[in-house]
Amino acid sequence: MLRIKKGDSWELAPIKAKIRLDFRGEESRQSFFFGKAKPEAAAESQRQHQVAILKNLPWQGVTLEELNADYEVYTVTAPERGEKIAYAPVELTVTADSLEDLFAFVLREEFRKIKILEPEELTLSNFEMERTIFKMGQEYRNGLNQEGYLH
């Protein structure tokens, strides 16, 4: 929980945030008879798979309050290859005990945007800031290790 100032006193309060994740889908080759899979279908399939994981996976220090997957799939053209890439957005509303608990969402490749809904103002002590930066570095290194960049 974060310490927030209410009037002249300090209280412990969770952080409420909206997080947007955009799941990517690319054209993929299927068999000779069926042609290519559309990127929109791949993005939608990826979104459905990830939504099931997000709903069912317990997150330590995080409560999933709302999950909105009703956004339309959008496409862009990749500048390097000229292929269409589709993205299927999902918006989560979560309550977290600390800033560090939000890292599981914001350090994902699919992360696009975060909006802190509550509290309106945050004050971090030196210790809290150090802990937050340490945890961010730790999560970043773990991600690089999982992708095989670090040994």
Percent of the chain with pLDDT over 90: 37
Residue 23 within a domain? yes
The pLDDT-based confidence of 31 (bands split at 50, 70, 90) is very low
Residue 21 within a domain? yes
Residue 62 within a domain? yes
Residue 43 within a domain? yes
Residue 151 within a domain? no
pLDDT at residue 20 is higher than 70: yes
CA 61 to chain centre: 15
Residue 116 within a domain? yes
CATH code, domain carrying 35 = 3.30.70
pLDDT at residue 33 is higher than 70: no
Distance between CA atoms of 92 and 72, rounded to whole angstroms? 15
- 29 vs 105: which has the higher pLDDT: 105
Residue 59 within a domain? yes
64-105 pLDDT, tens per residue?
A: 999 999 999 999 987 777 788 999 999 999 999 988 888 888
Query: Domain range holding 98?
Result: 2-146
Distance between CA atoms of 150 and 20, rounded to whole angstroms? 28
Report the domain count for the chain. 1
Distance between CA atoms of 133 and 26, rounded to whole angstroms? 34
Residue 30 within a domain? yes
